[in-house]
Amino acid sequence: MTAIEPSPRVGVVTDVITHAHDAIGSLHRQSTRLTAWAELVHRSLGRGGLVLAAGNGGSATHADHLVGELVGRFRRERLPQRAVSLVADHGTLTAVGNDYGFEEIFARQVGGLARAGDVLVLLSTSGRSRNLLRAAEEACRRDVTVLALTGPAPNPLATMSSDALSVEAPDTASIQDAHHVAVHALCAALDELFPATTEVIP
């Protein structure tokens, strides 16, 4: 095996790890909030509600990930849950973006899919993405609960949401690292609320 020589760039790597560690550490102070979110989502799904999720860029992948865990499974076998990612349908995104503008790509889907009592999870490192703000506006108009994962507060999305978990971190990547862990923590809490099943659904 070739020996790895020390590099002056190691500081860049350690900075990324340190910032991620600190951002994730801030979630400890908000564990009660994440637990309450899980209970809220569980109640909505138990009433036949729908969980919708959206974000841009890296946050879009987190929205997809959350929905994948709900429809699939996280740690144990359970029945699939009703959830949809608003970033996953490329045909709808491009059609709405072309006809109504990029700001409306999520709001239009909320208008078509969401009903009172549903839950909309929005992820934004800045809390200022106009398409997410429009989605939140549409959701609030329809009595849909809006849960926001954002970067440092105050920010517009956190202010207009039903509840927000805001991560204090120096850069976008660190905020996204914390959001990824928050999604997993939320799913872990939901696992404790959903009844386990021995049925394996292929």
Enumerate the domain spans of the chain. Answer: 29-193
Q: How far apart are CA 84 and CA 189, in angstroms?
A: 19
Instruction: Let me know the angle formed at the C-alpha of 17 by 15 and 22, rounded to the nearest 5 degrees.
Output: 95
pLDDT at position 7 is 74
3-state SS class at 61: helix
pLDDT at position 122 is 98
- Give the CA count within 13 Å in the CB-facing half-sphere of 38: 20
- Look at the alpha carbons of 186, 132, 116, 83 in this order and tell me if their dihedral is positive or negative: negative
Q: How far apart are CA 176 and CA 76, in angstroms?
A: 25
Which H or E element spans position 188?
Answer: helix 172-193
pLDDT along the chain (202 residues), means of 10: 71 88 90 97 97 98 98 92 97 98 98 98 98 98 98 97 95 96 97 77 50
Q: Show the beta-strand stretches assigned E in the chain.
A: 51-55, 83-85, 119-124, 145-150, 163-166
Q: Which fold has domain 29-193?
A: Rossmann fold (3.40.50)
**Tokens 């049925």 identify what position?**
199
